[in-house]
Chain A
Amino acid sequence: MTQVQIENVTKKYGNFKAVDGVTVDIPDGSFVCLLGPSGCGKTTLLRLIAGLEDLSGGSLSVGGMDYSKVPAHKREFGMVFQSLALFPHLTVAENIAYPLKIRGVSASDRRARALELLDLVKLPDIADRQIHQLSGGQRQRVAIARGLAIDPKVFLLDEPLSALDANLREHLQIELRQLQKTLGVTTIVVTHDQREAMSMADTVIVMEAGKVQQVGTPVEIYRNPANAFVANFIGVSNLLAGRLTGPAQFTFDGKVINLTPEDILHVQKGQAGTLSVRPEDIVVLPDPAQGQLNGQVNFIRDLGANVEILVRVGDIDIISVCAPQSRPGVKMSDRVGIQILTGRATVLAA
């Protein structure tokens, strides 16, 4: 039972609150991503969980025990640092065995465990190499192996893949996820990359300005963002500020958009709100008289796999994304109509 309970945790630097009243429960064996832009407090929260920073307020418990005052070296956690922090004066095997050496494990047992872990991260045969002889991806795996060496209660990773190139990163995301499933260790990863969070996590915690904005599964967060910040940080969203004028009717700029029962409403009838629609739910029509809105084509880009069209409506740009085969016959500066496909939209509080 290594459920991590974070209760009203706060970290202040002078007057600045890096983490501001965060309360989250992380269930045993789950894979959690702390997601947010740089400076949102996600790394500070991870360091507070690690015990590398002292809490300014609130409490932290692991497996039902209060951990608020336990020093970092007595927490029995594993951690992978952003810089990896592999010890350059030790070999690969010595790095992995370092935590075991501290715990008084015999040399032969340490060696055996290091080799076992190297197998686990698919790096047999490099045990006796120096750190500077390894590639970026190899270092990454050695750091993961070292963090797992003591069967940690909680496994923490701070932007672990950010230094790698795109292909290797995707590859390691999958591997890390599989490894965590096999071992069942409670894992918390900090990332600023929403794709990375979506592809690995059971639960995503979106943070901004030191506060938790939303906690949920990747699909929940994408489908039902709690507010405009989350809607825009997770993927791209078109945000139309207007009013809910009927039980299933949103009015934007004097134009009526009819909603369906599947759309999610965060406001009551009569209240102001923001309609959040994903670009794939916007259809551009060559005839400006058709659709709920109309505007002028501002920009078109063909990305191969899909086509993005930017349409200027009043003083906002609406983004539409479609497959190349359903690209409408429009060109720059054309007046066009916009069809909003409802059913996957959200009306957020204004």
Chain B
Amino acid sequence: MTTLTARLKGHRGAAYPLVMLVVFFVVPFVIMLSVSFFSRDDGAFFQPAFELSNYSRFISPFFGKVLLTSLTLSAAAAIISVSVAVPFTYFVTRMRARWQSVMLVFLLSVLSLSEVIIGFAWSTLLSKTAGIGNLFVAIGLMETSQSFTPSLGALLLGLTYLGLPYAVLVLYPALSRLDPEIPEAARMLGASPIRSFFNVVMPMMRNTITGALILVFVFTLGAYLLPQVLGRPQHWTLSVHITDQAIFQSNLPFAAAMAIFLMLVSLALVGISTLLGRART
């Protein structure tokens, strides 16, 4: 008995965080998992039951299309964000510490912006009266201003805006730890700056870049407001439908089933990225 208390004593510090995380993070997931098998109840949110109908329901052409839209949009946003972020982050890490800090403050400020604000700002920027349409008219590219939103392009732009600062901050640690003499060595051996970037920097960062792609993919997969603000109803993603089912259709069991499914997809991808990262280091 005394040995047990003695052994527990060393772990006392972890008790409070453990309790908080289990009660408020693990338990909600367990409840959500069980609710995904419950049946819907119009009066009281849900009824305990065990049915697979919530899962079988989205094996339909409609939800198949929704899933495909979500995955394609996020994949495209991830690829664009990371392609821009890799050279951008590389340049930032080559700046002096002072300028790096300025860049990071700016990026963090953009990163922390609410999806609501990003959606509002881009819908304004792409609108007829206050948007780049006015700029195009001013420089003579267009006759009269027009609205560019809602459209698939606007949504993709918004998702890229959401993902870009995230991608930069995921790439930043690895790129800033890159020995500056490595690209210099490539140059001394005869590689032009562009060639040394593709020959040496990119291959060395392969795992980090894969990780960034997956993280941005998962992150934009969770976008809920942008598809509603910048896209058309056919661009609504799984996240939008989850919220829609939970709040407006009051079908929590079905929302839970979709969330569990989305989580499994995300977890699988995060798992793959960590495994890839570990295999190298």
Contacts and interface: CB of A to CB of B under 8 A. Distances in A.
Interface of A: 50, 52, 71-79, 81-89, 98-99, 102-103, 146-147, 149-150, 156
The A contact surface, by secondary structure, is loop
Given A87-B200, A89-B203, A77 B188 contact: yes
A85 B190 contact: no
Contacts of B206: 89
B185 A73 contact: no
Interface string B161-190: 000000000000000000101101111111
B77 to A, nearest CB: 28
Interface residues of B, number: 20
Interface string B182-213: 10111111111101100110011010000000
B190 A52 contact: no
A52 B187 contact: yes
A89 B184 contact: no
A158 to B, nearest CB: 8
Contact of B188 (A79, A86, A89, A103): A79
A102 B189 contact: yes
B110 to A, nearest CB: 31
B193 to A, nearest CB: 8
B157 to A, nearest CB: 34
Contacts of B189: 73, 98-99, 102, 146, 149-150
Interface of B: 179, 181-182, 184-193, 195-196, 199-200, 203-204, 206
A98 B186 contact: yes
B179 A87 contact: no
A230 to B, nearest CB: 30
Contact of A87 (B190, B193, B204): B204
A73 B203 contact: no
A103 B182 CA distance: 19
B204 to A, nearest CB: 5
A71 B186 CA distance: 13
A72 B206 CA distance: 26
A85 B191 CA distance: 14
A102 B204 contact: no
B172 to A, nearest CB: 20
A103 B203 CA distance: 20
A200 B182 CA distance: 27
Contacts of B190: 73-74, 76, 99, 102-103, 150
Contacts of B191: 73, 98, 102
Given A82-B181, A83-B179, A102 B195 contact: yes
Given A73-B190, A73-B191, A99-B190, A89 B185 contact: no
B142 to A, nearest CB: 42
B252 to A, nearest CB: 49
B231 to A, nearest CB: 40
B204 A88 contact: yes
Interface pairs A-B: 7 shortest CB-CB: A85-B185, A99-B189, A85-B181, A79-B188, A81-B181, A102-B190, A72-B187
A146 B185 CA distance: 10
B203 A83 contact: no
A150 B190 CA distance: 10
Contacts of A146: 189
Residue of B179, B187, B190, B204 ringed by the most chain A CB atoms within 10 A? B190
Contacts of A149: 189
Nearest to B193: A73
A83 B185 CA distance: 10
A102 B199 CA distance: 10
Contact of A52 (B184, B192, B204): B184
Given A89-B204, A102-B195, A81 B184 contact: yes
Contacts of B196: 73
Residue of A50, A77, A89 ringed by the most chain B CB atoms within 10 A? A89
A48 to B, nearest CB: 13
Contacts of A85: 179, 181-182, 184-185
A99 B195 CA distance: 12
A81 B190 CA distance: 15
